[in-house]
Amino acid sequence: MKKQTYINESSEVYDAIVVGSGITGGWAAKELTEKGLKTLMVERGRVVEHQKDYITESKPPWEYPNRTKVPHNLVEEQYAIQRQCYAFHDGTKHFFGNDRDYPYATEEGTDFSWIRANQLGGKSLLWHRQSYRMSEFDFLANQRDGHGNDWPIRYKDLAPWYSYVEQFVGISGSKENLPQLPDSEMQPPFEMTAPERDFANKMKQVEPDKPVIISRCAHLTQPTKIQVELGRMQCMVRNECQKGCSFGAYFSTQSATLPAAARTGNLYIAPNSVVESLIFDEKTNRVKGVRVIDNDTLATREYFAKIVFLCASTLGTTQIMLNSTSKRYPNGIANSSGVLGRYLMDHNYNALVTASIEGYEDEYYIGRRPASLYVPNFHYEPGRYHKQFKRGYALAGTASRADWQSMGTGDGFGKDFKARLHNPGPWGIGLQAQGEMLPNPDNQVTLHNSKKDKWGMPQLNINCRWSDNENAMMESALEVSSSMMKKAGFTNIQQRILGQPPGLAIHEVGTARMGRDPKTSILNGYNQCHDVDNLFVTDGASFCSTGVGNPSLTFMAITARAVDYAVREVKAGRLG
């Protein structure tokens, strides 16, 4: 990245401002700059440079003072919430937000975990890279069962954009021709282990409606020309992903969209710039830019543009919109409907079933494969709903052998015990549910009336709970997973409800939803605000429902589609 890319003060009126630099912000910047718009990316955190700032990459566990464990006092002081994330440890903690600096409030009865990564690249450096298309059933679900508002788009609207982003990102996986899980443009899949292949084949015989496939993930297994040109290489299967990948083998802002945007010469970045609110012009009913507070000095400044894309994460974007008040929009910009902040949703990962697998002593351990087993949603339309709940869930898991890490916590002492650690243990398998959360207007975020953060902004106040529907879904997942394992001949089947709060899936969506009716939604089908036509929201806040699959691939597709629409409107003279 050239030094002149980074700015501080600027009086220039850019063609576009993108707030946020994660998965959606990176895509918005790439698409806008490649279409010729001079674009300013505004990021509240520090600069992270590809390769240079992956400071713990390839550092083995034994070189950490506590074998990657973060000291208890530091966790309690700074990372009490962030430590709950699967990716948090001493080698990744520098990519996580500091809880002390990023407080938020919750209503009584709410236990919401907000995982944050405030730096250039955002959570694209930390995500688990599972990548699935939403299906026509996902887009129709709200209309068919009456929960939530109808999506203003359908699968056919997004299908070409899925293909477009997949060809750039690089998704590994297998073609399955399943109606509830449309196939992507895919590179070769990672391999299953022998027990996994046998499990998948057995389920074809005894549970044909529950196919067991290899997961789809944003890892390059056969890089294309465009990926190689950006300096990306094949996945080395090192399991170094959340430390940063210098090979660029997994998709992140740093490895893909940022260098693509930078090479156009149209990208500028304002780091350490916390967006406090949007600058709104009452006369034109449009936004003019953003007000920011310096992350370090707390000085204020303003940036101006003809159009603005909010890609600050679901809750980050909502906080900015709620804090952008005016005479016309006293309850938050573009909020004439009153639904801004409502319908907060996340995926429910609370059902886990494990079992032992006998045999396969001559088969090797899984290694560091980034993919897993995946069982797509089999309750994908009303006629297939369970009698106890609406919508459905997927299952994900892995069959692997016990190794020194697990056996090291078992009973034993002395020479014989140490010798056992050199050999792999027995095979086991686990399946965990990923359940849909119904849209509920009572699951809401607001601005706290008295608590503020270090930048003087009102803290978000979160009120979000699992409903009886989500709880019943997890009970079903325990029953179904156990039944599948029993039919496969596995033993020692154990069930567990994990008790994780909303937020820990890190798939929060819904607080500035799309819709056809401006009276019940914030955005139209192109992610454009009904009330303010030069303001776009393309992160998870725009969702009408969670669907069942991981949302990041859809974030990318709707962002690319929204930029295409916005630029056409600008060039036609209807915007900017």
At residue 1, the pLDDT reads 61
Task: Report the DSSP beta bridge partners of residue 494.
Answer: 354
The answer to whether 248 and 259 have CB atoms below 8 angstroms apart is: no
Tens digit of pLDDT for each residue in 554-566? 999 999 999 999 9
Could you tell me where the beta strands, DSSP code E, fall in 329-387?
351-357, 373-375
Identify the band that residue 419 occupies on the pLDDT scale cut at 50, 70 and 90: confident
Q: Rg for the chain (alpha carbons), in Å?
A: 23
Average pLDDT, integer, range 88-99: 97
Q: In this structure, what token pair is assigned to residue 574?
A: 């209807």
Around Cβ 368, how many Cβ atoms within 10 Å? Answer: 12
- Sheet of strand 393-401: strand arrangement: 213-214, 373-375, 393-401, 427-435, 351-357, 491-497
Q: pLDDT per residue over 457-506, tens digit each?
A: 999 999 999 999 999 999 999 999 999 999 999 999 999 999 999 999 99
Percent of the chain predicted with pLDDT > 90: 93
Q: What is the mean pLDDT of residues 317-323?
A: 98
Nearest one of 116, 119, 221, 231 to 174, comparing CA atoms: 221
Place 407 in a pLDDT band, splitting at 50, 70 and 90.
low
Over residues 235-287, the pLDDT tens digits come to 999 999 999 999 999 999 999 999 999 999 999 999 999 999 999 999 999 99
- Residues 43, 1: Cα–Cα separation, whole Å: 15
Q: Token pair of 403, please?
A: 């190794």
Closest CA to 399 of 353, 349, 433, 434: 353
Q: Which CATH number fits domain 3-105+117-171+252-346+506-571: 3.80.30.20, 3.40.190.10, 3.50.50.60, 3.40.50.10490?
A: 3.50.50.60
Q: Does the predicted TM-score (pTM) go above 0.75?
A: yes
End-to-end CA distance of the chain: 28
Which residues lie across from 181 on neighbouring strands?
Answer: 178
The pLDDT tens digits for 361-389 are 998 777 889 999 999 999 999 999 999 99
Domain residue limits, the chain: 3-105+117-171+252-346+506-571, 174-214+349-435+467-501
Q: 99-135, pLDDT tens digit by residue?
A: 999 999 999 989 999 999 999 999 999 999 999 999 9
Using CA atoms, how far residue 328 sits from 488, 536, 576, in Å, is 62, 18, 21
What's the chain's length in residues?
A: 576
d(CA 187, CA 177): 16
DSSP string, 460-519: EEEE----HHHHHHHHHHHHHHHHHHHHTT-EEEEEEE--PPTTTTS--B-TT-B-S-TT
Which residue reads 């449309």 in tokens?
182
Cα atoms found within 13 Å of the Cα of residue 54, Cβ hemisphere only: 20
Euclidean distance between CA atoms 425 and 407, whole angstroms: 8
